[in-house]
Chains A and B, each alone.
Chain A
Amino acid sequence: MEKKEHIISILVHNKPDVLARIAGALGGKGYNIESLSVNTTTSYEISKIVMTSVGNQATITRIENQLRRIVDVIAVDDLTNVESIHRELILVKLILTADSKAKIEKAIDTYKWKVIVSADTYIILEITGDKPQIDFALARLEPMGIADITRTGIVALALEN
C-alpha cells in the first residue's frame, strides 16, 4: 500500500493533558506526528487538533483507532480521503541590506507577499498557503537571507461534513 501524508482532524474535550494523551498514545505505539495544530473551537470546552502523519492506509487506520480509544477524543476524521482545504502560515524575518533591499521589494511586489512589520533594517512577512505554496515561497525567500522563521502546523477543513 502506498505511503503518503494524511491530515487527521481530531475533535477533543479541552481537558488537561489531552494533547499529552494524544502524543503519548501515538508516540508510545511508534507512530510519528509530522505536523500539529491545536486550538479551541467556538466552544472553549472543545478543541480541534489537526495533525499529519505519514503512512499507508492500514497504518493510518491504526492511528485513527488508537486515537478513538482515548476517552477525551470525540471524533477522528482523515481529511485526506475527503475534499478538503489545507493552510499553513509562516512568519519570516528578512534583514535588509544595501544589496538585498531592491530584490526583496521586487519579490514582495511580484508574489503579493504581506508585509506586517517594516523597519529600517528588517521586514517581517506573513505568508499563508497550502504546503506547495509555502514551499514555493520558502524557495524564493531562502536566497534573500532568512534571519528567523516560524511555520505553523497544517490546519484543514473538509468542504462537506
Chain B
Amino acid sequence: MKLKGSQILLKMLELEKVDIIFGYPGGTVLDIYDQLYKSKLKHILVRHEQGAVHAADGYARATGKVGVCLVTSGPGATNTVTGIATANMDSIPLVVFTGQVPTTLIGNDAFQECDITGITRPCTKHNFLVRNIEELAATIKEAFHIARTGRPGPVLVDLPKNVMAAEIDFDPATIQIRNHETIHKPAPKKMAQVYEMLSHAKRPLIMTGGGVILGKASSELTELSRKYQIPVTGTLMGIGSFPGTDPLWLGMLGMHGTYYANMAVSHCDLLIAVGVRFDDRVTGTIETFAANAQIVQIDIDPSSINKNVVVDLPIIGATKTTLQDMLKFLAEHNYMQQAAERKEWLEQIAGWKEQVPLTYCQNGKVIKPQQVIETLHKVTKGDVIITTEVGQNQMWTAQFFPFDLPNTFITSGGLGTMGYGLPAAIGVKCAFPDKQVVDIAGDGSIQMNIQELATAAQYNINVKIVLLNNGYLGMVRQWQELFYEKRYSHTDMTYAPDFVKLAEAFGIVGLRATKPEEIEPTLIKGLALNKPVLMDFRVSRDECVYPMVGPGSSISEMKLGTREMIN
C-alpha cells in the first residue's frame, strides 16, 4: 500500500501505541497536521513548544511510557531545547518530532531552517535527520526503541517537509531495526560480595534514586529494606520509590536533605546506592561523603559509576533484575542481620530524628509555605500526583509531602527547569484524567510557562496550581541572604500580575488565601472544582528552606535555620 510520509508517521505512532501527542503546528509540518485533521490520535495544542515537551515529559514520568511531541522547524524546534535537556538530565523517554525544511533546501539558510540535530546532539540520547522516505518507518521505530531501552532518554527525529509529502509502499511487517536492549548478566560473585559486606555492616543504608523509578524496581527496593531492616534515604529523583510514610524512610539527603538522612549517610558503614549518579547537590564535598562507608553502586549506565564518587563495588545492570538477584542470593544464603546491632543503628537514627526533626515555625499570622504543603497532603490523603516548579517550592514539596508511590512526584531534578510544573501537570492529567493532579508552584517559576493556562482552559484539563507566592525568586534570595550578605540583587518579584485575575482572564478559576486559617478551605474548594484552578497562597516572604548544606560543605554540616526550629 502506497502511503505518504505524513501518513506513515501516524501509522507508526499507532503501532507504538501512542495515545496522545503534544504539539504546535507550523509551515514544515503542515502535511502532518493535515493528516492529524483526519486522525483519531489525540493532539493537545500547547501555547509554546517548551510546554509541549514538558507536557510529554510529565506524561512519560507519570505513566512510564514514551512521551511524544510534534513541532515545526526553526524556532519551533529551538523552543523544544530546554524541554529536551530537562528530560535528558533525568533520563526521561521522549520522542520529539521536529519539522525541517525540504532536503533540497537544507544548508541554504532557508526560512525557518535550523540545524536542530546539531543543536540537540549534546542533550538527546540520540537524534535522527530522516533524509529520505525509505528510512522513515524504521527511523521512527528505532527512535521509540532507543528512547525506552537501557537508560532511557529523549530522542529527536527531524522530518524534512518533502519526506513527509513523498510516497512509498508501507508494510510494517518488513521494518527492521538494530536492537539496543541491554542483556541482563547475572553477577553471582558480586552478589556474594554484597552478602559479605552486609554481613559485616553494622550501619547499612540504602540510597535510592531515579533509576529505581525508571527501572520499575520500587517493590524490590522496598522488600530489601523492610525484610532486612535497612533504612532508606533518597535523592530528589528517588522520592516515591520507597514509601514516604514508612518508618524506615529518612527522607531526602543532600543540600536540602533532612538532618537525619545526612547524618545517616555520614555515619553509615555500608551505602547501597541504587539508580543514582551522585549529583553535587546530593554529595556536598566529595571527600567527606559517606566517608565511613563502603559503597555499592547499582546502575544500568557504566558512565554513572565512579564518575563523582569512587565506589567499592560497582554493579552494572538494570535496577530491577539486579535487586531481584540480590534478594534471591540473600534469601538463599540465609542472610539475617544481627538484630541487636541493627537496633542500635536504627535507634541512633531515631535519636537524630528526635534531635532535629523536619519542621518549621508557625506564628499563626502569616501562611507558611510548608503548612500549605502539609495541608494539601492532609486534604488529599496523599492520593494525588504532584508536579513542581523549581526552587523553594520544589524543595519544600520534597521535604514536607510524603510520597508513598513511584511516578507520583514529578519534578525537574537534574536541569532544574523553572516553568516545568504547569505543562508537566497538563501532561500528567492527560494520562490520568481521574486523578487529582497538582502543580506546586512558585511565583517566579509559574510565570515562565504561564501561557499554558490557556491549554488547560481550552481542553478543560483539570489541573490545580498551588502557588506559594512570596514575591521573590525565593531560592536565589535565600542564597543572597545566607551567602551574599543580604544583597537581594534582582530577586524581588513584587511586581507581578494579580494571579487571581490572571487565572480568570485565561478562563480558569482563581482563588486566594492570605491567612493560615484560609489554607484548608481554599484547598478543599479548589480541589473540588471540575475546572483548572489557580490558588494563590500569599506566604511568608522570607521563609528559607532548611536544613541547608552550604556550597563547599560536607553534608554533615547543615544550617538548621532559627533556634526555635530545633524542638
Q: Which residue numbers of A lie inside 8 Å of B, CB to CB?
A: 13, 16-17, 20-21, 24-25, 28, 58, 61-62, 65-66, 68-69, 71-72
Contact = CB atoms under 8 A, between A and B. Distances in A.
A69 B121 contact: no
B126 A24 contact: no
B118 A65 contact: no
Contacts of A25: 122
Interface in B109-145: 117-118, 121-122, 125-126, 129, 131
Interface in B127-166: 129, 131, 146, 151
B180 A24 contact: no
Contact of B301 (A21, A61, A69, A72): A69
A20 B180 contact: no
Given A62-B307, A71-B126, A71-B146, A20 B118 contact: yes
A16 B118 CA distance: 11
A21 B117 CA distance: 10
B129 A62 contact: no
Nearest to B180: A71
Contacts, number: 34
Contacts of B122: 24-25, 28
Given A16-B129, A71-B146, A71-B180, A62 B118 contact: no
Contact of B306 (A21, A58, A71, A72): A58
B303 A62 contact: yes
Contacts of A71: 125-126, 146, 180
Given A65-B302, A69-B301, A72-B126, 19 more contacts: A13-B178, A16-B129, A16-B131, A17-B121, A20-B118, A20-B121, A21-B121, A25-B122, A58-B306, A58-B310, A61-B306, A62-B303, A65-B301, A65-B303, A65-B305, A68-B302, A69-B303, A71-B125, A71-B180
A66 B180 contact: no
Interface string B285-321: 0000000000000000111011100100000000000
Interface of A is mostly: helix
Contacts of B125: 71
Contacts of A65: 301-303, 305
Contacts of B302: 65, 68
A119 B146 CA distance: 56
B218 to A, nearest CB: 25
A58 B311 CA distance: 12
B96 to A, nearest CB: 16
B125, B126, B301: which has the most chain A beta carbons within 10 Å? Answer: B126
Interface residues of B, number: 19
With most chain A CB atoms within 10 A of its CB, the pick from B118, B129, B302 is B302
A68 B303 contact: yes
Contacts of B129: 16
A66 B303 contact: yes
11 contacts: A17-B118, A21-B121, A24-B121, A58-B306, A61-B306, A65-B301, A66-B303, A69-B301, A71-B146, A71-B180, A72-B126
B309 to A, nearest CB: 12
A72 B305 CA distance: 21
A20 B131 CA distance: 17
Nearest to B118: A20
Contacts of B305: 65
A101 B122 CA distance: 53
Contacts of A69: 151, 301, 303
A20 B122 CA distance: 10
Nearest to B127: A17
Nearest to B131: A16
A66 B151 CA distance: 13
CB-based closest 9 A-B pairs = A65-B303, A71-B126, A65-B302, A28-B122, A24-B121, A69-B303, A66-B303, A24-B122, A71-B146
Contacts of B118: 17, 20
Contacts of A21: 121
Nearest to B178: A13
A68 B182 CA distance: 12
Contacts of B310: 58
A28 B121 CA distance: 10
Pick from B122, B178, B302, B303 the residue with the most CB of A within 10 Å: B303
A68 B118 CA distance: 20
Contacts of B151: 69
Q: Max chain B CB contacts within 10 Å: which of A13, A21, A28, A71?
A: A71
B35 to A, nearest CB: 27
A72 B126 CA distance: 9
Interface in B303-343: 303, 305-307, 310
A159 to B, nearest CB: 26
B117 A17 contact: yes
Among A21, A65, A72, the most chain B Cβ lie within 10 Å of the Cβ of A65
A70 to B, nearest CB: 8
A68 B57 CA distance: 25
A61 B316 CA distance: 14
Nearest to B155: A71
Residue of A16, A17, A69 ringed by the most chain B CB atoms within 10 A: A69
B146 to A, nearest CB: 6
Contacts of B307: 62
A62 B180 CA distance: 21
A24 B126 CA distance: 12
B308 to A, nearest CB: 10
A16 B125 CA distance: 16
A61 B302 CA distance: 10
Nearest to A21: B121
Nearest to A68: B302
A62 B314 CA distance: 14
A28 B129 CA distance: 21
Nearest to B301: A69
A21 B122 CA distance: 8
Nearest to A27: B122
A58 to B, nearest CB: 7
Contacts of A20: 118, 121
A128 B463 CA distance: 69
A47 to B, nearest CB: 16
Contacts of B180: 71
Interface in B79-135: 117-118, 121-122, 125-126, 129, 131
